[in-house]
Every structure is written in C-alpha cells, then in structure tokens.
Structure 1
Amino acid sequence: MNTKVKKIIYDFVWITIGTLLLTLSLDLFLAPNRIAPGGISGLAIVLQHLFGWPVGAVILLINIPLFIISIKILGTGFGAKTLYSTMLLGVSVDVFSFLKPLTHDPMLAAVYGGIIMGLGLGIVFKYGATTGGTDMAAMTIHKYVPFLSVGRILLIIDFIIIVLAGIVFTPELALYALATEFLGIKVIDIVQEGTDYERIAIIISDKYEDISKSILYDMNRGVTELKGVGAYSKKDKNVLLCVVTRNEVTNLRELVKKADPAAFVILTTAHEVMGEGFRDI
C-alpha cells in the first residue's frame, strides 16, 4: 500500500470519527433539548419539532440537492470527503437516535453539545472535509452576491436559523443555541490551531549582535536579522526576529535585558509555527 493510499484512508478514518462526534452532540444533547445552533443541523432540529421529521433525514434531504446545485455552480471542488461526511452525518444521526439524552438541563446540553460539536467539526475540517450544509449554501450565494463575503453570508444564515428556533421554541433556547455556536467555534479553532501557541519576538537594539548570539547559542533558537530604518532618526537599524515557545519567553527577556536594558521588544502570539525546531510542515 503506497503512501498516498495510506493518507487517504487515514483522512477518511478521522473524518468518520469527527462526523460521529457531531452525531453524538446532536443525539445526546442538542436535539432532545431543542437547542438548534446555526446550520442545516439546527434547521433540522426545528423541523423535527414542527413536523416530527427525523433529523438525519432532513439533513440529507436538504444537503443532497444543495450539494448537486453547488457542484453545478461552483464546480467539483467539494470532493468525495465532503460528500462522504454529509451522507454519514445524515444516516448516523437517525441510526443513533435511539440513544437516551445524557441531560435535560439546557445549560449542560448547550455547553457539552457545543464542545463535542466543535470537536467533531474541527476534526472534519482538519482532514479536508466539511459536513456540507450552510458552507455550500454560502459559497453558492456568494457567487451571485459577491459584495457579501462567504463568512458574512454564513453568519446571516446561522442568525436566521437561530432566530427561527427562538420563534418556534423560546427566546431562552435561542440564547442557549447562540452559546452552543460560540463554544463550537472556539473548540474548532483549538482543534485546528492547537493550544500551545508560540511567541514571536521582534527586538530592536544597537547591541543586536550580542542579543543574536545569546539567542543562537544560549537558547539554541534561530534568529533572523532584518534591515530597518528609524522613521525619525533616519538611521539604519538591525531588527531581530525570532520565535520561541511560551516557556522560553522569560529566558528571552532576561537575555535581552542583560545585553541591552534599553532594547525595544515586541512579543506577540503565533497560532502555528512550522519548520525546524517546531512542528513539521
């Protein structure tokens, strides 16, 4: 089995895990408590309450024609992974609907449903798929309304669905749905970007050579010299750029302070650093 085939299998295994986590968030927490976050899943929960339709069947009934329309308008960029995840979600939600909800407290349902939903979606996104739904709708609408970004269209669609849930259910449940949506987005970010953020240091000092050597040899970290010009003095400046882990920030401060207490230092956060000394590309 070659590397490419292994990679495809690996991706589909993780997409399956992510989709099933999303399924559990719907069956164990959100749908039984009438918490309808944005997206096709939220709309399906509202329609289930109104007409008694199964959530999974509604997800499929909306997503399949939407998928076909999107391919005709946007091309085949969605790919097999998204189709697989979309179909699996629609089927698995109804297959596992026999599971009893873990809580009937809407606060607990919103919190844990949002966390598990975000974890599942984050895994699906990380391995190159989506669960269809409003992503495809937003891209299709953007084709005809280009002055609205895809992100803004997604927000509008999700807002409409949550407002609809507030009308059909109660305003309080709509607020819980908003909390679920917010938690889900934060967890998606954590899954995709991680939590161990590195720090970017930009150092301006006349003693840049001493500081550079300390970073290279005492901290064993790479450093880049950039050429700059002071806007007021018009003098050439050497600017040091380096990336360190969170645990190394204190050490970096001490090295810079020892070499030049008057140095100008900017520290900011890098959500993802790839390359030598950090994670692989």
Structure 2
Amino acid sequence: MDRRARIYVAGHTGMVGAAVVRRLRAAGYDDLVLRTRAELDLTDQAAVRDFMAAHRPAYVVDCAARVGGIKANMTHPAEFLYENLQIQNNLIWSARDAGVETFLFLGSSCIYPRGCPQPMREDYFMTGRPEPTNEAYAYAKIAGMKLCEYLHEESGRNFVSCMPTNIYGEGDNFDPETSHVIPALLRRMHEAREAGAPEVVIWGTGDSRREFLHVEDLADAVLWLLAHHRAKRFLNVGTGQDISVRELAERIRSLVGYEGALVFDATKPDGMPRKALDVSALHAAGWHHRIGFEEGLRRTYDWYLAHVARAGMPV
C-alpha cells in the first residue's frame, strides 16, 4: 500500500474504527478521511454519494454498523436490518461509482448457521439459517458480503470482506442495554462489587462458547488485509480459541475482585451454542493475533475504570 493513498474509515468513532485509525496512523498513513455521524449520515444515500465523489479515496474500510448484544438484537430486529442495509449499501455502491480501488467490508461471525460444524470454516457460509437471536443483523451482513463478492466478479475491483470474531477492548460499549458480553460483565461485576451485591445474574446457562479477539489485533489484521487480500471470498479473522461464558464470567469476577455469587438464568437465551472460527486460511496467508486473552481483559477493564467508572460517565 502506498502511504500517500487516501483512506476513508467509515465508523471511525466506534471501538473498531478508532483502533483502525490508530493503527493506520502508526504505520504512517496520514491522508485519512474521517466523518462523524453528525457530519455525514451514512443512511442518507445522496449525502454518501456526494461525499464519496468529492473525496475519492483509494481505500475504504467499512467499520460502520448498528451493533448490540442479544437483548438489543431481539428487541429491535427491524431497525438492525434496515439501518445496516442502508449504511452498507450506500457505502459500497457510492465507492463503486467513485472508483475506489479497495473496499474492505467487515462482516460478523453471526453469518454462520446456528448448527454450523465447529470450528467454522469459510466454506460453511450460507449452508443454513443463522442463529434466531441475531438473524436480522446476520442477514444484513450477509447481504453486504455478497454485494462485495458480486462487484468483485463483475468489475474486477478489489471489493472484499473479512469475517471477524467477537471483538472487545479499549473503547468498547459499556451501555447496559446494548453492550456485548465482555463489557456487560465487566461493568455489572464492578458495580456489584462497589455496591456489595450478593449475586450477579447472567443470561443463559453459561455453557455456550465464544471466541474473542482484541480490537487492536483486528486493526492490525485490517491493515494486513488492505495490503494483501485480493480474493473475492472473505477470510475469517480471529484467534481460533474459544471459551465458555461460564469460564469467561469466572475470569472477569477474578479480575474485578467481585466475591459474590454468579447465577445463570437458564430461562434466558444462550444464543448460538458455539462460535469458534477456523482461522487456518488467514494463518497460512501470514497473519496471527498477538494479544493474549488475559492481557486483553485487563486492558479493557483498565480502560473502563479510567473512562467510564472513574469519570462518572453514564455508559
């Protein structure tokens, strides 16, 4: 990649987008085009088209999406499907019209079927229906990935996708209503410790298994993919290692120093029983993660203490 190339990072104020911007700048890429939601509404087709035509970036990294945990996905499926389709369609199509050289679309592990063989290989994509608790988000991501594939075939343009596993780290969303499992558990156990609460109730049986990748590792993978990935088929991005929600909760309890009980509410959904990625294709191509899970959890909790808990922020 030419370090003089203009790069647009969509969604740069979110956890993933912000990490991508930090990684690009650290690598010497200075011509970055960035817009906040207030400056550019990505659901506005005309605004996105005009923006892309005016700035004509050589590379686009699509980190923009409406995201949330199981509760948010189950409560607002229509909004998750509609808003994500709008955002990604506007970005992908306007990038095509503006002559963007490389467009990198970030998918989600929820694209894989609920009963998918484990670990999940790229070949298992679209071999069954997604997990019902987040199928609206999954269908939006599937549509974006297929649109990039079709444009890759039709135009020969390098419109490609990657499929990250569950991401966590500094800058995560700690909102109790919309956060994913790691920030949710970190916040709830910290607050339970501070309040002296005797127990923390956790959705599900605790038996479901998840894989987690630190956001700085994902940002590093994004830079690698921009420079090396030229195939129309997406690549999984993760660690290839998973953990049960129960073990995750125990690790977070130990990290936070919470001494109360963990109560698993089996009347609430577990989501997909297991989501572990086969990352052998990415490893064979030359990229590996670097941040261990214990280090990543500690860094995430330290960020929460500095930017949310001690700062007195509501989320």
Structure 1 length-normalised TM: 0.28
Please identify the structure whose Cα radius of gyration is greater.
1
Report which of the two has the higher share of strand: 2
Structure 2 length-normalised TM: 0.26
Report which of the two has the higher share of helix: 1
